[in-house]
């Protein structure tokens, strides 16, 4: 599962397409990941191969999109005014700039990957909510690491979690518009516990029907930003059973 958030600024006027390519690229790579690395070394491949491929393949996709959708005259005027280097096919990345978050769940491991702002919440069967890593102090206001950045590969954060007796019951991915709609981080983190409880009491179908309304209300009362969320649930929200 993956979500992405295009930068949306005037100089990133194709970031919507960039975000779509970020999601597609991340999902493709996560599907390939278990077969990479020496003798199926998932942790090694996640730490080395995944960050390199994420940046490289996204940029390949950008070049392909630009070749099939060349700049219009109006586009070129924006490029000339705001990003002269992007007139060349050598550096169009900012125009398509996007963050990306992804998760892969296998029978033995969960892999988390993040480049840029946004949130990954891991919810235990007991309802405890954690993040795979501390928040990056560089991500302040509109500033974010990105697929379009020069340091995209080293800025990519990856964690591999071995599944033990206390495997995650729920994993949530959300673009930054969601957490920015809360005054306190504690209130945002409770979303993980609340969604887990709703799934257990009323099922995933209830969450599916309600999610758009919840996110719209959060944005309208908070950040005003668009929000994308993905939910990965284990079994019957952490009970024994097949994954959903």
How does pLDDT run along the chain (244 residues), one tens digit per residue? 999 999 988 778 899 999 999 999 999 999 999 888 665 688 889 999 999 999 999 999 999 999 999 888 888 777 777 655 544 444 688 889 999 999 999 888 999 999 999 999 999 999 999 999 998 888 876 789 999 999 999 999 999 999 887 789 999 999 999 999 999 999 999 999 999 999 999 999 999 999 999 999 999 998 888 999 999 998 754 443 333 3
**pTM across the whole model:** 0.89
The DSSP H or E segment spanning 178 is helix 176-179
The DSSP H or E segment spanning 61 is helix 42-68
Cβ burial of 165 (10 Å; 0-12, 13-18, 19+) is exposed
Whole-angstrom distance, CA of residue 184 vs CA of residue 226: 19
Residue ranges of domains in the chain, CATH in brackets: 2-233 (3.60.40.10)
Specify whether the backbone of 70 is left (phi greater than 0), alpha (psi in -120 to 50) or beta.
Answer: beta
């Amino acid at each position: 599962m993956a979500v992405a958030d295009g930068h949306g600024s005037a100089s990133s006027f194709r970031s919507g397409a960039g975000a779509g390519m970020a999601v597609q690229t991340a999902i493709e790579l996560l599907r390939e990941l278990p077969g990479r690395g020496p003798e199926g070394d998932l942790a090694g491949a996640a730490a080395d191969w995944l960050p390199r491929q994420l940046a490289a393949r996204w940029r390949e996709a950008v070049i392909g999109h630009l070749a099939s959708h060349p700049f219009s005259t109006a586009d070129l005027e924006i490029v000339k005014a705001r990003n002269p280097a992007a007139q060349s096919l050598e550096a169009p990345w900012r125009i398509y700039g996007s963050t990306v978050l992804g998760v892969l769940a296998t029978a033995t491991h969960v892999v988390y990957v993040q480049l840029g702002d946004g949130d990954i919440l891991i919810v235990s069967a007991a309802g405890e909510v954690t993040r795979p890593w501390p928040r990056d102090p560089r991500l302040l206001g509109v500033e974010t690491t990105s697929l379009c950045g020069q340091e995209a590969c080293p800025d990519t954060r990856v964690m591999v979690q071995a599944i033990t007796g206390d495997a995650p019951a729920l994993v949530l991915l959300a673009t930054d518009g969601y957490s920015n709609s809360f005054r306190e981080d504690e209130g945002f983190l409770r979303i993980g516990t609340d969604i887990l409880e709703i799934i257990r009491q009323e099922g995933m179908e209830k969450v599916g029907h309600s999610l758009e309304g919840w996110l719209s209300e959060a944005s309208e009362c908070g950040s005003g930003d668009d929000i994308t969320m993905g939910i990965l649930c284990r079994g019957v929200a952490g009970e024994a059973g097949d994954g959903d």
